[in-house]
């Protein structure tokens, strides 16, 4: 079945131009005018941008954490992602010490099987770098197409790995063509500050931020970068939230080191004051790293514009306020860390970034799709509008104004951290490999239609 998208403006990371797009099966087969559209279904994109489907490189669906499980599974989470213009995600597969990597991967495959409505891949957590794990990583890359490895430098006694583990992982990643990701916060310092706060009776949500200061993020980012340089490897710093971390990434990139960084919409538009909302409302804004003082936002926007940071992920990790966030009502350390971001990523970047002149329209595409495709081994199958690429396409109307609200979002959660925020830009329709998932703002996708993405080895983009 052919589809003919006419009347829209194609936007890629490099170009903006008016053209029609012809789809046959799962692929884009022609772009231009006077195309052979015989027998094609006509789709009117007048007034809309035709964007490559978004790639969200940072999600946590159906993930156990803090005695509970994230509220979005692979059906509800990928459905919400599609409504937000995302057609591929890379989710984090957690591992346990003593468990084979393949066993953990099998668990994550089972979580996604029959549920995902868009394509998906996995990052793999490394918590222990013993000989068995290091040997198994080669087959994970070759056979599973999992070419990105996550090491936590925080969450002491839960997820945190030591420097030796990180260093060994970096060396092995260099050998097998994988990109190492770090959650960069100094877990030992945070552990000390947290115990001190609780001992002094400080239990409110705002102390989540006070016990995870920006200096702890900056120090860990610098340490991870130094170990990467020593290993002559490659590093991707997830959810960068503050100027301290940006500065260290900028310095490393100026030296030509193979260092990349990601930030998230929440750090671009929300700030530490949200954690101090009354009546425990601040718990809705507890995630890690925490929200920072507002002035950091301009540093982050500048880093996106100037290429210091390459991607914007959602770090979608949703927990309901009622029954989940409330677990920490008397102890901020028991508030599950994370928030619902997957659906609003593209619109927030367009409304707050493009419309306000902080990034260009082409940079929007690069930050939300193209660069992630290149870094995580999916380009040019994903991440662009081009002949031969997957027909992952978003029809985005730039002029529609709307208000973000939990009453209208599609995430399986009882609040939205951007509640009441007026934004400009709306996803109208979304195609995944040539088939509609969202059409005229209505869900028409199918559970299980999303395919697992075996990704290529890391190459420097």
Q: State pLDDT tens for residues 341-356.
A: 999 999 999 999 999 9
In a domain? residue 459:
no
Q: Which tens digits make up the pLDDT trace of 245-294?
A: 999 999 999 999 999 999 999 999 999 999 999 999 999 999 999 999 99
**Average pLDDT in the 56-81 region?**
97
* Low-confidence winner among 96-100, 139-143, 224-228, 312-316 (lowest mean pLDDT): 96-100
In a domain, 130, yes or no: yes
User: Residue 6 domain-assigned?
Assistant: no
In a domain, 318, yes or no: yes
Q: How many domains does the chain have?
A: 1
Query: Is-above-0.75 flag for pTM?
Result: yes
pLDDT at 112: 98
Percent of the chain with pLDDT over 70: 100
**What is the pLDDT at residue 292?**
98
Average pLDDT over residues 125-150: 95
- Supply the CATH number for residue 308's domain: 3.20.20.140
What's the pLDDT at 66? 83
> Are the C-beta atoms of 237 and 266 separated by less than 8 Å?
no
Is residue 80 within 8 A of residue 413, CB to CB? The reply is no
**Is 437 a domain residue?**
no
Does residue 65 lie within any of the structural domains?
Answer: yes
For the chain, the average pLDDT equals 97
Query: Which among 439, 441, 398, 400 has a CA at the least distance from the CA of 48?
Result: 398
Its domain, for residue 75, covers: 53-376
- Burial (0-12, 13-18, 19+ Cβ within 10 Å), 302: middle
Within a domain: 382: no
pLDDT at 383: 98
* Spatial CB neighbours of 369, under 8 Å, sequence gap ≥ 6: 13, 51, 52, 53, 54, 55, 382, 383, 384
List the end-to-end C-alpha distance of the chain, in Å, as a whole number: 34
Distance separating alpha carbons of residues 395 and 67, to the nearest angstrom: 39
239 within a domain of the structure (yes/no): yes
Instruction: Determine the average pLDDT of the residues in 44-51.
Output: 98
């Amino acid at each position: 079945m052919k589809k003919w998208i006419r009347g829209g403006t194609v936007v890629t990371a490099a170009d903006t131009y008016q053209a029609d797009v012809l789809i046959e099966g799962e692929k884009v087969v022609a772009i231009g005018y006077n195309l052979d559209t015989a027998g094609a279904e006509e789709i009117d994109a007048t007034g809309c941008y035709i964007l490559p489907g978004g790639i969200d490189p940072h999600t946590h669906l159906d993930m156990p954490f803090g005695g509970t499980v994230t509220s979005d599974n692979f059906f509800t989470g990928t459905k919400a992602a599609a409504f937000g213009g995302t057609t591929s995600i890379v989710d984090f597969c957690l591992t346990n010490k003593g468990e084979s990597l393949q066993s953990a991967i099998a668990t994550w495959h089972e979580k996604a099987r029959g549920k995902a409505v868009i394509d998906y891949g996995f990052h793999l957590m490394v918590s222990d770098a013993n000989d068995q794990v290091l040997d198994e990583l080669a087959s994970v890359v070759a056979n599973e197409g999992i070419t990105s490895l996550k090491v936590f430098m925080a969450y002491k006694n839960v997820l945190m790995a030591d420097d030796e583990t990180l260093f060994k992982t970096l060396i092995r990643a260099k050998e097998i063509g994988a990109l190492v990701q770090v959650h960069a916060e100094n877990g030992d310092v945070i552990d000390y500050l947290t115990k001190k706060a609780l001992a002094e009776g400080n239990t409110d949500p705002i102390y989540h931020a006070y016990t995870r200061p920006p200096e702890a993020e900056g120090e860990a980012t610098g340490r991870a970068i130094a170990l990467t340089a020593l290993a002559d490897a490659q590093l991707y710093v997830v959810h960068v939230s503050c100027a301290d971390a940006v500065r260290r990434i900028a310095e490393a990139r100026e030296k030509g080191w193979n260092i990349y960084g990601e930030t998230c919409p929440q750090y671009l538009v929300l700030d530490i004051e949200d954690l101090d909302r009354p009546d425990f409302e601040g718990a809705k804004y507890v995630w890690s790293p925490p929200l920072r003082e507002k002035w950091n936002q301009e540093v982050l926007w500048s880093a996106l514009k100037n290429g210091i940071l390459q991607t914007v992920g959602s770090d979608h990790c949703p927990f309901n306020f009622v029954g989940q966030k409330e677990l920490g009502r008397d102890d901020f350390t028991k508030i599950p860390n994370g928030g619902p971001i997957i659906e609003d990523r593209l619109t927030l970047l367009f409304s707050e970034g493009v419309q306000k002149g902080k990034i260009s329209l082409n940079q929007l595409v690069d930050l939300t799709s193209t660069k992630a495709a290149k870094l995580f081994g999916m380009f040019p199958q994903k991440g662009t509008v081009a002949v031969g690429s997957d027909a992952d396409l978003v029809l985005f109307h730039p002029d529609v104004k709307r208000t973000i609200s939990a009453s209208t979002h599609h995430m399986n959660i009882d609040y939205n951290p951007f509640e009441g925020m007026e934004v400009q830009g709306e996803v109208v329709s979304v195609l995944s490999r040539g088939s509609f998932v969202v059409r005229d703002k209505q869900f028409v996708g199918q559970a299980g239609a999303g395919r697992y993405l075996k990704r290529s080895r890391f190459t420097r983009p």
